[in-house]
Amino acid sequence: MEKLKSLMPKHGNKVKKIRGAFTLIEVLVAIAIIGILASMLLPVLSKARKTARRVLCINNLKQCATVIHIYAEDNDYSAAKTWSSASPDRFNHVNPGYDLRTQLGSYLNDNFETWMCPSVSTSTPINDPANTSEWRFNYLYLPGSQQVGDTARKLNENDGGDLLMTDSAYTWNSDWRTNHSLGGRLWTPFSFNPSLAMFADGYAEGVHGVYMDGHARWSSKLRATPTYSYNSTYYLPVD
């Protein structure tokens, strides 16, 4: 009998309850904490993505400048021609002699991925077959707009501090069209010219510019240039 008593649980012993799940309050508290952490991290991640896209953009422009100079060295220091009376975002005007794709394609193995701003996720390379009219892109190719008539711009006759290419930034009917925008929405004005994609209805945050001597920089200060076409006022970085 004594042996049996020793095997029985003593009076007052409590059986521990095994916890099966979190309570509703605990779940809500965890969700609230995750929400607070996300609200703190998202702006940081967004800024990091923007910085990464800017780095890619400035590298793209430097690569564009390298190709422009190599082409010029092979052509009596003359830059590739576009169309002298057009806006500086033109890459072609019907005649192949004024087409950046045919003039520079062999120097790039026809890969024009660097000839567009990576901040605009909807833009496409200038040799996209969908570009069947309008012939504009979201960088400004300044030698084309600075040629005189049919005479190409001579790159060896210009100071190293002269601008060669920049991000596109212009106003049309007082509305901004730009690659790096404060606010705004992605905008592709023509289905037959997807390379012209950029941001609309925001405000220009700034532009990258690459110079004749190969250096490139970001500028948040812009200056208006003479109107080229379409009643648009283009903006370049302040020197």
One DSSP character per residue, 75-136 reads TTTBPPP--TTS-TTB--BSBGGG-HHHHHGGGTTT--TTSS-TT-TT---TT-TT--SS-B
Contact call for residues 75 and 155 (beta carbons, < 8 A)? no
Q: Is residue 211 part of a domain?
A: yes
pLDDT 10s per residue in the chain (239 long)?
555 455 555 555 555 555 566 787 877 888 888 877 777 766 656 667 778 888 999 999 999 999 999 999 999 999 998 876 567 888 987 676 789 999 999 999 999 999 999 999 999 999 999 999 888 999 999 887 666 667 778 887 666 678 899 999 999 888 999 999 998 999 999 999 999 999 999 999 999 999 988 899 999 999 998 655 567 888 999 87
Which has the closest alpha carbon to 143: 238, 67, 206? 67
Q: Is residue 59 part of a domain?
A: yes
**What count of other Cβ atoms lies within 10 Å of the Cβ of residue 71?**
20
For 79, phi then psi, to 5°, come to -75, 155
Q: Give how many domains the chain has, as a whole number.
A: 1
Q: What is the pLDDT of residue 31?
A: 83
Q: Is residue 199 part of a domain?
A: yes
3-class DSSP state of 171: strand
Q: Is residue 51 part of a domain?
A: yes
**What count of other Cβ atoms lies within 10 Å of the Cβ of residue 184?**
19
Q: Is residue 6 part of a domain?
A: no
Tokens of residue 112, six digits: 């024009």
Q: What is the pLDDT of residue 4?
A: 46
Q: Is residue 14 part of a domain?
A: no
Q: Considering the entire predicted model, what is its pTM?
A: 0.78
**Residue numbers of the domain that contains 226:** 25-237
Q: Is residue 3 part of a domain?
A: no
Q: What is the pLDDT of residue 41?
A: 67
Q: What is the maximum span of the chain, computed from C-alpha positions, in angstroms?
A: 119
Q: Is residue 17 part of a domain?
A: no
